[in-house]
Chains A and B, each alone.
Chain A
Amino acid sequence: MAAALGLLVFGLLSKGSSGVAVGDPAPAAALPTLGGGGSGSLADYRGRWVLVNFWASWCVPCRQEAPELERFQQQHGGPKFTVLGIDSRDLSGDGRSFVRRYHLSYPQLRDGDGDTAHAFGTTGVPENFLVDPAGKVRLLMRGPVTADYLDDSVAPLLPGKSS
């Protein structure tokens, strides 16, 4: 009985919460691309600002923020910044349909088992993390971003599009 209880306690401790806070290095595990045919990682964007957006096609708030993220990408995307979508715990076909439906042009990775979302410490979708060129988290938003948040909190941190 003691051994079983010990195993249970070990399991609970080993499954303790993880996650990142502002100032922490962002996890950068390799993930398959949502479109198939290769993989990508947050590390591929080192030297750029990246707004990491965890989403899923079944998530209603994700549908609401997707057009805002695309607008922001159109305004600020370039060699110094990109939005990076990570489709988490979602069917890949549903995820691709979502990207087509909302005409999302920014890169998309697939986190089918949710391990990367867990490494970031997400508790659901959508959640957003602004990562600086050194790979550290500078902002985090647990919930959908709005146009005001993007313009007032994220945009001021970014360098000029052509600078």
Chain B
Amino acid sequence: MRGRTALALLAALVAVAALAPAASAQPRPLATEIESEVMCPVCGTLLELAESPQAQREKAFVARLAAKGKSKDEIKDALVAEYGDAVLALPQGSGFSLSAYVVPIVAFLVAVAALALGILRWRRGSGGGDADGRMPEPDPSDEESARLDADLARYDL
């Protein structure tokens, strides 16, 4: 029973983690959306998190192009023309940049495998219990029975 509850809880956690990004997705202004997808080359962080003077110029550049009606792709192309490919937040799918994709997936799979293994061991370890999964308590020894009787007698119960 406990094993089933734990598995159900794990499944619920995975489902919530998978659905959270979709639930939080809201339409945003184009400039704000782009700031969350490109880098501040000087700061080495996402533009939306950066407040350096260079980042302020870059944000103003994005806002200017968005106000002119440029599309997201056109604005990103303009940023690449100014700062090079490194301005794009999404790492390339080759070389060291590949680790940005591989490491989180591997870490997630390892964590799930470890959790599943732990649950399996826990279930095996809990075998031998009664119908409710509880371990039967052992009978008290003669010494313990005598001590219990003495205690009860002392309290005159």
Contacts and interface: CB of A to CB of B under 8 A. Distances in A.
A, B assembled together: yes
Given A58-B54, A112-B82, A113-B83, A89 B42 contact: yes
Interface residues on B, range: 20 to 34
Contact of B85 (A7, A60, A92, A113): A113
A89 B43 CA distance: 11
Interface in B71-87: 81-87
B107 interface: yes
Interface of B: 41-42, 52-54, 56-58, 61, 81-87, 96, 98-99, 102-103, 106-107, 110
Contact of B54 (A3, A7, A89): A89
Interface residues of A, number: 23
Chain B interface mostly helix, strand, loop or mixed? Answer: helix
Given A1-B106, A4-B102, A58-B53, A89 B96 contact: no
B84 A115 contact: yes
Contact of B96 (A14, A57, A90, A92): A14
A139 B135 CA distance: 79
Contacts of A59: 53
B41 A58 contact: no
A15 B84 CA distance: 18
A73 to B, nearest CB: 26
A94 B106 CA distance: 43
